[in-house]
Structure 1
Amino acid sequence: MGKLFAKWYDFFMNPLEKTAFKALRKKLLSNATGSVLEIGSGTGVNFPFYIEAKSVTAIEPSQYMLKNSVSKIQQATVPIEVIQAGAEQLPFPDHSFDCVVATLVFCTILDRDKAMIEIKRVCKPDGQILLFEHVRMDNRFLSHLQDFFTPIWKKICDGCCLNRETLKLLIDHNLKIINVEKHYQGLFLLIEARNVPENK
């Protein structure tokens, strides 16, 4: 992720984060318990919302985003460790975490399948997987608009894709979907899933 994009990310996202996104993040992260892994923590916007977690290990590939997350670590009420790493190759042993969190991340991950395999590997059997993502909408007209604008949007927003089908990704990887909440006509989803062992 580019230095310039990381520098201005919080500034441009702040109007949304102070209103709609804040409530959605708080609702989702109130369910994160035990040892938590956060995928793509960015500037650390989630850190103050971890209340029930025992500890949080956050990975972020961008050194510039990591630098900007320091102040958010100081606002957290639980221990947070930040590591520079990508979702496609997680530097943790199998079954390390009770819960894995990703918020507005799967729109930029290059190899989503590899990332999901890694998430399942490091998440404990029956562990939680909690996502807040923007996705390709069900409305045919709006989804076609997303498809049309995605190539331009990716260039402007450092690789962000408007039309990812993240819920389908979870289903394809045999995660048990516990709950899905649709917001803003299905543009944003709150997803709660479980890492059910293959033999169950």
Structure 2
Amino acid sequence: MNFYDRFILPPLLDFAMRQSQLLAYRQAVVPVARGRVLEIGIGSGLNLPIYSGDVELVGLDPSEHLLAMARVRAAETRTKVDLLQASAISIPLEDAAVDAVVMTWSLCSIADPLAALAEMRRVLKPGGALFFVEHGLSPEPSVAKWQHRLTPLWRHVAGGCHLDRKVDDLVRGAGFVISELHKDYAQGPRPLTFMYEGRAWAPGKP
């Protein structure tokens, strides 16, 4: 990991993700998670104040610097939090270990999103829920064209973030069943702001 990724990018990500317009998306997916919850890409812990107080939370992130910020926020909440430095491609939890998974603007930066989603399904209990809000590929060809053009450069300056992933197809491709899905633009440049907000279920395993 280079100097930019270790020391410059974490505070930039924390600043960018504190946009007020993102709070409504967080409030739509975070408080509904119950039981033992795994948050993928917990980052600097911006979701922590939104969880229900009776949640037992496991927060996963590969960045030690973002996790240091999350620890500060965790100390200010009443949520029980266990923070783990690890990749979503290899989640250090047993099979069927959690009741729910929460993912907010994380899938875009995971190197192998299908492998990560398969890991999320593995650690979910049968019938467990994945709650997500992600940005990704627009259905408008003109916008999608720019997303494909910009992604090779964008991912180098934004921590591996891809603008052109079709989130619902990835979630279904990992074996989830999507029960709720809302897609629309948030405020801002269209190549960066097409949102997928939803809920998916992990079918029972044999």
Normalised by the shorter chain, which TM-score bucket?
over 0.9
Which residue in the other structure is 1:13 paired with? 17
> Per-residue CA shift, 1:32-76, capped at 9, x if unaligned?
011100111110111111016521000111111111212211232
Q: Count the aligned residue pairs.
A: 196
Structure 2: which 5+ residue stretches go unaligned?
187-192
| Deviation (angstroms), 1:159 | 1.0
Listed as ranges, the matches of 1:58-77 within 5 Å are 58-77=59-78
The answer on whether the counterparts of 1:35 and 1:53 sit within 8 Å (CA) in structure 2 is no
Which residue in the other structure is 1:192 paired with? 199
TM-score, L = length of structure 1: 0.92
TM-score, L = length of structure 2: 0.90
Q: SS at 1:132's partner residue?
A: strand
Q: Percent sequence identity over matched residues? A: 28
The answer on whether the counterparts of 1:50 and 1:77 sit within 8 Å (CA) in structure 2 is no
Give, in whole Å, the separation in 2 of the partners of 1:190 and 1:53.
24
Listed as ranges, the matches of 1:84-99 within 5 Å are 84-99=85-100
RMSD: 1.6
Q: SS at 1:48's partner residue?
A: helix
| Deviation (angstroms), 1:10 | 2.0
* Letter of the 2:8 counterpart: L
Q: SS at 1:88's partner residue?
A: coil
| Deviation (angstroms), 1:183 | 2.9
Which stretches of structure 1, 4 residues or longer, exceed 3 Å deviation after superposition? none
Q: Which stretch shows the higher mean deviation, 180-189 or 88-97?
A: 180-189
Give, in whole Å, the separation in 2 of the partners of 1:74 and 1:37.
18
Structure 1: which 5+ residue stretches go unaligned?
none
